[in-house]
Each structure stands twice: as C-alpha cells, then as structure tokens.
Amino acid sequence: ASTSEEAPSLTSEDRAGFKKSRDVFGLDFGTASAKQPTQPASELPSGRLFHAAAVISDAMYIFGGTVDNNIRSGEMYRFQFSCYPKCTLHEDYGRLWESRQFCDVEFVLGEKEECVQGHVAIVTARSRWLRRKIVQARERLAQNQEEEAAPAPREASGAAGSGTRPPLLRVAIREAEARPFEVLMQFLYTDKIKYPRKGHVEDVLLIMDVYKLALSFQLCRLEQLCRQYIEASVDLQNVLVVCESAARLQLGQLKEHCLNFVVKESHFNQVIMMKEFERLSSPLIVEIVRRKQQPPPRTSSDQPVDIGTSLIQDMKAYLEGAGAEFCDITLLLDGHPRPAHKAILAARSSYFEAMFRSFMPEDGQVNISIGEMVPSRQAFQSMLRYIYYGEVNMPPEDSLYLFAAPYYYGFYNNRLQAYCKQNLEMNVTVQNVLQILEAADKTQALDMKRHCLHIIVHQFTKPRRAWGVTGPGLGQAEPVTHCCFLAHPHPQSQPESHPGWASRGLLCSPWLLCKSGSLCRSPSCPRCGC
C-alpha cells in the first residue's frame, strides 16, 4: 500500500466481532522490478526448517522457510528440471496394433467365429495363456503340413519364400467374444485400456467381460485396471445390473462390492424402490436382505496385491531369451547373425517398417549399419534394448555409435540421441575427447562437437599428450589442430604450412605449440625463439 494513503485499520469492536466495517479502501500497488544477480555458478539454498515449493512448467520454485531456527528467509530459488523427450514405447506398439500391419496370427473368437488379427511377438511376450494356445496351433499346423506333404505343396512353399506373404496362423478361442478381446489386445500392446463412458451400463458390462477374460488369461495387471474402473463406475442407476452380471459371471469380488454398496444406509431405501429390484433373481434378493439384517464382519487383508508385469518388463524378458523360438528375422552385424522379431522392429523404426512392407529381403536377413559405420556388438545390443523396451542406459562408448541411430533408423522421437548426448557430455574426458570429437564430426553433431572443442582448448596440455604431441622434443613449432583455431581465431597471423601437417591431416592454424609446450599466436615467439 502506498505510504501517503490511509491504510485500513480495525477498531477494538471490529476485532471483537461486534461491528462489521463497511468502509471501502483503494490499494495502489507499485511496480517492483527484480534484477538477476551476476553469479558465476548456480547457488544451492541453505538448509531450513520448512519452505514452500511449486512446480511450474519445467522448473521448481522454492520460497521462504526459517534458517538457523530463528531467521525467516524471503529468498526464492529456481530448480531447472531436465527436459528430455518422453518415451514413446507404448504409443509405438499401440500404433502397430491400430494399423494391423505385419500381422501373423488370427484369433477365431466365440460361436460366431469372429476374427481378430495380431502379432505373435507381442502376444506371446505378454500372455502365457495365449502363448500356449499359439504354440499348440503351430504344432498342429506343422503336423498337418507333414501329413499333407506332396510335390505340389513344396512348389507352393517355394513360391511363398520368394516374396508371397505366408498365411496367418489361426488360433481358436471359443470362450471369448470379439469386443472384449479387442480391449484385451489393446492392453497387451499399450499396457492400458481406453476407459469408456464412466457409469454407462453397457460400457461397465463390457469391462466386466474384459475382467472375466483377464482372470481366464491370468493377466493380473489387467484385472486391477478393470476392477478399478468397475468399482469407480458403480452407482445407484447400474448397481443392480452390475451385481446380477457379476453373479452370472462368477466374479466374487465385484459381487461383494455391489452388495456392500446396496446395503449402505444412504443407498438401501432407494435401491429397493427401483424397478430393477423387482426383476432381480430370488437368490440375490435373499442375499441382499440377509446382508442388511446381519452384515458380515470386516476382514482386513494384509496380503500384497499382485499387479503382474508391465510391458517394459515383459519385452525385456522377451529380448533376453523368452522370445527366441518366435524370431522371424535375422539381423547381420559384421557377419554375425542376431535373431529378432519383425513386428517389434517395424513398430519402433520407420526404416524397418518401410523395408518389411516394400523391400522385404528374400533370405530374411538384414545387414546392420549406421550410415557407413558398423556399430560394435555391445552398441548393437544397446540399440536393441532401446527398440524392444525403451532402455537408454548404456556405456559411453556405445553412445558414440548410436548418436546418429535415431535419424538413420527413423525412430519416432530423438529420446535416444538426447540421452546419448548427455551420456557423452557427462563422461567425456581428456583420454577420449579426440575420439568423441571425431565421431561428432562424422555424424554432424554440432553441439557435441562444440563441447569437445571447449574441453580441448581449456585443457590443451592434457589432450595434446594423447595426440602424441610433446613440446621439448619438437624441432620446429607444430600446429594445434583445427579445433583450437575454431575456438580462438586469430585472423592477423597465418603461418606457413609445415611439411608434416598434410601427412598428419592437420589444418593450418595461427595457434602453434612451441618448444616450451606453450601456445603461441605467431611463428616467431619471443619467449622461446621458435
């Protein structure tokens, strides 16, 4: 408030609550300006008893608190969060499911024999029950092909190997209908389900059918998702329908939840006056009345809830050996074969997607390289871990090879490159700075190249030993490589080229390394006479 104006005050009667003030005060707020202090580096806040914190966008703001138990602090600190591209693993697999490309299995569902297509690699990685069904179907197909073996089928199989798409493997599942099975398949690919309208009777019944399938297929994670949705969607309008459906499907936990909802004091009178209550089956009516008259004792379960395995965990196990028998493509790294799964590669890489769609190799083998560079076997394994389950942790030397992989293989974001860059920047040393600089120059990674140049210029006496360049042993001044010229240009002096520079692949630079081991700007150094 302005100091020249009258500030509002309370009389003793106002403070006691006997009289309400009807005065109106106008407060004029001045404009305050904050100046950014010039600090050489970031400053950490001192310890305090409490503080207020708020996260806004990509930063967290810390304000206030008590320092040394008696001093109130009015300082504000800003913590910048690291901003990396989000992992698109679930979205990539979900896009594969929606596109229905490269499907190699067809599920025949229910009495109507409706068909839903999918991918063996994803389904067998996520569900053991469906994996057994697929293995049994493959064994029956192989047995039938052996029994029907004849010259004509052999010719047909040879034609199929020359580019014709192989027939889909058919798996019959009589206990499942198409709609709930599609929701289950969506969960297998994305680890989540798109919840329909909350509370709508038809949608709740659909999720109950999905819950029944989750119990049959032993998908604990999907069970929990369905239960959470159903229990949150039960209300006065649908509780009786859901309860009757749960009793018919023998879903005991959902039935218990509905019965407890009905017998609540605030719900019971409204529920028994509904038309649906009149059409309820006699056993359910008897159970509701008895539960209202004599509620069962509450039992607390201390057993941990089994939430199953996630998509990342399943795909990790699949890459490490669980999916070896379902490989359908071979990746060749410098002549060494590595079996893989075509659908997974196509889901994560537009390069493999285009290849398998239009230029599928006849022998089923794909040579692996990143441009003209062939990665190491360890770097190749790191790339496969990223493709299969989004793993970005890797040794620094692998980041050198994989820095350009997102562009070459057409990954759907640059998350891998961002982590490779961070890995290199945090682990670059004077021992490996030249190798990283060379790789950054080949891959045109300008930010990484600039970072290496900065390290070389400011710690030149250390990396020059890695080049094999020493001061006192030189007959004449040797040039520093082009990187130092980029960091500290000196346009006025241009020394003549040394005969050994071209053979070493070094560029002419006004920065020279004299006999004393120091950097000179001129070929005639007054300090050492070189």
What does the pLDDT read at residue 222? 92
- Report how far residue 55's alpha carbon sits from residue 45's, in angstroms, rounded to the nearest whole number: 17
pTM of the model: 0.68
Q: At 395, which amino acid appears?
A: P
Under 8 Å between Cβ of 457 and 488:
yes
Tell me what percent of the residues of the chain surpass a pLDDT of 90.
27
Under 8 Å between Cβ of 516 and 473:
no
127-131, 156-160, 236-240, 360-364: lowest mean pLDDT where? 156-160
Sorted by sequence, the CB contacts under 8 Å of residue 508 that are 6+ apart come out as 479, 494, 495, 497, 501
CATH number of the 90-145+166-293 domain = 3.30.710.10
Tokens linked to 187: 């969960």
- Report how far residue 224's alpha carbon sits from residue 222's, in angstroms, rounded to the nearest whole number: 5
What does the pLDDT read at residue 480? 41
Point out which residues pair with 329 in neighbouring strands: 340
- Report how far residue 291's alpha carbon sits from residue 293's, in angstroms, rounded to the nearest whole number: 5
Helix, strand, coil percent values for the chain (each to nearest 5): 45, 10, 40
Q: Are domains 90-145+166-293 and 326-454 of this chain identical in fold?
A: yes
What does the pLDDT read at residue 86? 86
* pLDDT higher than 60, residue 113: yes
Tokens linked to 508: 């002419």
What does the pLDDT read at residue 391? 93
* pLDDT higher than 70, residue 456: yes
Q: What is the pLDDT of residues 244-278, one digit of tens each?
A: 888 887 887 888 888 888 888 888 888 788 887 87
Q: Could you tell me which of 389, 231, 416 has the C-alpha nearest to residue 310?
A: 389
How far from chain centre, in Å, is Cα 175? 34
Give domain limits for the chain.
90-145+166-293, 326-454
* pLDDT higher than 60, residue 18: no
Q: What is the pLDDT of residues 284-317, one digit of tens each?
A: 888 888 888 777 777 666 667 778 899 999 999 9
CATH fold group of domain 326-454: Potassium Channel Kv1.1; Chain A (3.30.710)
* pLDDT higher than 50, residue 473: no
Average pLDDT, the chain: 77
How sure is the predictor about 486, in pLDDT bands with cuts at 50, 70 and 90?
A: very low
How sure is the predictor about 191, in pLDDT bands with cuts at 50, 70 and 90?
A: very high
* pLDDT higher than 90, residue 385: yes
